[in-house]
Amino acid sequence: PLTPAPGPAGIRDRPAGRIPAWWRDASGSLLWLVLLAVTALWVHGGGVQDLAAVGSGLTSLGRLTGLIASALLLAQVFLMARVPLVEQAWGQDRLTRVHRRVGFTSFTLMFAHLALITAGYAWDTPAGLWGTLVDFAVDYPGMLLAIAGTAALVMVVVTPVKAARARLRYESWHLIHLYGYLGAGLALPHQLWTGQEFLASPVATAFWWSLWAVTAGAVVVFRALLPLWCSARAGLRVQSVTAAGPHAVTVTVAGRGAHRLHARGGQFFQWRFLDGPGWTRAHPYSLSAAPDGRTLQFTAAVVGDGTDRLWDMRPGTRVLVEGPYGRMHDGARTGRKALLMGAGIGITPMKALLESLLADAGEITVVHRVSDPDDPTLHADLLAAARTRGARYIRLEGRRRPGADSWLPASAGDVDDVTALRRICPDLAEHDVFVCGAPAWMDLVRRAARRGGVPAERIHDERFSF
């Protein structure tokens, strides 16, 4: 039997330090308050009165769109600074989606700002449109830097477009996105030197400098200093590298301070291995074993994009980590029962969860979806863990149904997605459902679970597609 935990309803064994659910709503409201403050400063600076004339009205609207674009740009950077409170409240996958929406909105408003400001100044000057553009670039402090920053941001925004993303390697995508910090930094002098709303009053100046300082501080502290400090305390080095299948490898790292990372089964780290060129690029890998306080283990599919080098990793190689990240852990549960569903290499965090969750025998079900029946990746380990923990382990093999949007393989016959889940777990609505796999497959599982009566707050997933 599994380790018993008291209480049939609530999860009294939930780890301490869980971020309250209301914090996500509070942090989201904070963004709206910032945008409201930006608009209020624009109104206080005479933005509404300037709408009375065509030229000044266009310029005033250009200032407003530029201000909101700037605030959203800072919010976008802050969201991906991996601030623990924010990351634990939202989860990396949801943060990434919000980050993308905020980024596209900021980008659109930035170009509206450029168009409106140029049109407004051109309306009131005999130099015309072209002369106004030249005047901006030559005579206004910081404008050339702003133009360079805009070009950097264009590169960042274009790469998430699906057609472009499909042609990019992970390393290339990661490198291009670093230009987002460069673009934001190059825009700062233009805004502070020539922006009317930045200079209108001491309150406005203090407000904008504070926004920039908080954002820059979050990036420096949580993307650089904290990971370096945690990695130094943990002292991680590669302990072993073993084959987990024909196209998968398991890496185990150990360190005297591994327990200080406070990792939980189901979470992931950003990993860097100091083994030569390319070490600066981090890769997200989920833990594939429950942390024991001395070692951390992950299993990765070897598909290029930096994963090939894992085969050649030597024991003793120094390891830098960022994390742990993600909300797919025992602290996210809302009830006693759990359904763990993983497809392909997405089964790795499910194995770590299986080994970590406190429950009684029969309260955990693991569904392992594989396309290749001969794929041995973690199969034996999952079987052994399921026997030890008293969990049910179901392996669904084979290719997907041709022409059907289903999370099931063709071997499942005509049974529909919802019925299949209910046959696996008759009391499906009483389960927390943890899901990891290809994004399209996770969407199908989520849809089936919702139709099967599982509340949205009981479905937990993590997405690593870029």
* Domain range for 397: 330-461
Buried/exposed 286-297: b ≥16 CB within 10 Å, e otherwise = bbbbbbeeeebb
Gap between the Cα atoms of 112 and 64, Å rounded: 10
- pLDDT value, residue 230: 93
CA torsion sign for 45, 51, 53, 59 is: positive
Whole-angstrom Cα Rg for the chain: 26
Q: Name the nearest CA neighbour of 313 among 345, 285, 348, 351.
A: 285
pTM for this structure?
0.76
Is residue 215 domain-shared with residue 252, that is, in the same domain?
no
Residue 69 included in any domain: yes
Gap between the Cα atoms of 68 and 312, Å rounded: 48
Gap between the Cα atoms of 328 and 325, Å rounded: 9
Q: What is the CATH number of the domain that holds 244?
A: 2.40.30.10
- pLDDT value, residue 387: 92
Strands 459-461 and 337-343: unpaired
Residue 6 included in any domain: no
- Provide the H-helix boundaries in 140-201: 143-158, 162-165, 170-177, 179-194, 196-199
Buried/exposed 309-320: b ≥16 CB within 10 Å, e otherwise = ebeebeeebbbb
Residue 136 included in any domain: yes
Number of folded domains in the chain?
A: 3
Q: Name the nearest CA neighbour of 104 among 145, 58, 64, 159.
A: 159
Gap between the Cα atoms of 244 and 348, Å rounded: 11
- pLDDT value, residue 251: 96
Is residue 184 domain-shared with residue 302, that is, in the same domain?
no
- pLDDT value, residue 282: 84
Which contiguous run of DSSP H or E holds residue 219? helix 202-220
- pLDDT value, residue 3: 36
Strands 431-436 and 459-461: parallel
Is residue 48 domain-shared with residue 187, that is, in the same domain?
yes
- At residue 248, the 3 state secondary structure works out as strand
- pLDDT value, residue 412: 84
Is residue 254 domain-shared with residue 225, that is, in the same domain?
no
| pLDDT (tens digit per residue) in 175-229 | 555 555 566 666 666 666 555 566 667 888 888 889 989 998 998 999 889 999 9
Gap between the Cα atoms of 457 and 293, Å rounded: 30
Residue 254 included in any domain: yes
Gap between the Cα atoms of 96 and 103, Å rounded: 10
Block means of pLDDT (10 residues each) for the chain, length 466 residues?
34 45 78 92 86 88 88 86 81 77 85 83 72 63 62 61 48 53 62 61 85 91 92 95 90 95 92 85 90 94 77 92 88 89 93 91 93 89 92 92 85 89 94 92 94 92 65
| pLDDT (tens digit per residue) in 422-442 | 999 999 999 999 999 998 999
- At residue 372, the 3 state secondary structure works out as coil
Is residue 224 domain-shared with residue 239, that is, in the same domain?
no
Is residue 267 domain-shared with residue 318, that is, in the same domain?
yes
Q: Tell me, what DSSP letter sits at residue 14?
A: P
Residue where a domain terminates, one of 199, 230, 261: 230
Q: What is the CATH number of the domain that holds 399?
A: 3.40.50.80
